[in-house]
């Protein structure tokens, strides 16, 4: 066999190209940061649009109901500024770490829940430090791409008062919970192992 053929075969065996589905590419496009849109409508509205486009829900400050459809977002009028206070990303959501810079400038987000959201991973959790000054409640339940490494990045969230960790199948090391409790002494940590 020629050396070139051997080299090409070896490259294919050792360096398999990343195979991504069409939906992963679509998710990446829908999560891409749009600086022009942020300048046009402000950080909270741009963030709300990003979250809704990707199947998440938000609750505005001063409102009791969640908004879960892109077409239900308020039309900017008379200088009224809407502020996101709570974010819910469930099983139907496709928000990913690529879009987390949309949280920049959203100064009132105090609660975030990721419930069965399979696009949430360690990198996404590490980017939550954008919300470190105001995030007081964080719930992570059944997110299959979260590991010990991601949980340990939450130590930057010093404003957290409540952290709920449930059904995380790749959270394997019991010391991770002890470490996060030590790093966040003012936070009530509820941990329920994967069932």
The DSSP annotation for 97-132 comes to GGGGGGGTT-TT--EEEEES-TT-BHHHHHGGGGGT
14 domain-assigned: no
Instruction: Give the strand pairing for 188-192 and 162-166.
Output: parallel
**Domain count across the chain:** 1
**Does residue 34 sit within a domain?**
no
Q: State yes or no: pLDDT of 15 exceeds 50.
A: no
Residue 71 maps to which CATH number?
Answer: 3.80.10.10
Q: What is the pLDDT at residue 3?
A: 52
Query: Mean of the per-residue pLDDT values for the chain?
Result: 88
Say if 24 falls within a structural domain: no
Q: Classify residue 48: in a domain, yes or no.
A: yes
Is 19 part of any domain?
A: no
**Domain interval for residue 90:** 43-192
**What is the value of pTM for the model shown?**
0.85
Q: Using 50, 70 and 90 to split pLDDT, how confident is the model at 18?
A: low
Q: What's residue 138's pLDDT? A: 99
Place of tokens 């490494």: 149
C-alpha to C-alpha distances, 102 to 161, 167, 178, nearest whole angstrom: 23, 27, 31
pLDDT of residue 23: 56
Residue 2 belongs to a domain: no
Whether residue 23 lies inside any domain: the answer is no
pLDDT at 81: 78
Distances (CA, A) of 174 to 121, 140, 191: 19, 17, 10
In a domain, 30, yes or no: no
Instruction: Name the band, by pLDDT with cuts 50, 70 and 90, for residue 72.
Output: confident
């Amino acid at each position: 066999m020629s050396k070139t053929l051997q080299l090409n075969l070896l490259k294919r065996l050792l360096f398999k190209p990343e195979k991504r589905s069409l939906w992963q590419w679509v998710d990446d496009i829908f999560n891409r940061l749009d600086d022009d849109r942020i300048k046009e409508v402000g950080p909270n509205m741009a963030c709300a649009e990003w979250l809704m486009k990707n199947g998440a829900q938000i609750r505005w400050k001063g409102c009791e109901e969640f908004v879960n459809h892109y077409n239900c977002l308020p039309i900017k009028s008379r200088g009224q500024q809407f502020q996101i206070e709570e974010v819910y990303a469930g099983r139907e959501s496709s928000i990913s770490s690529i879009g987390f810079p949309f949280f920049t400038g959203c100064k009132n987000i105090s609660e975030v829940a990721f419930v069965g959201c399979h696009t949430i991973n360690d990198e996404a959790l590490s980017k939550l430090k954008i919300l470190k000054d105001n995030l007081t409640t964080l719930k992570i339940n059944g997110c299959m791409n979260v590991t010990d490494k991601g949980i340990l990045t939450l130590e930057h969230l010093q404003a957290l008062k409540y952290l709920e960790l449930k059904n995380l199948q790749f959270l394997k090391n019991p010391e991770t919970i002890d470490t996060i409790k030590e790093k966040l002494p003012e936070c009530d940590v509820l941990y329920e192992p994967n069932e």
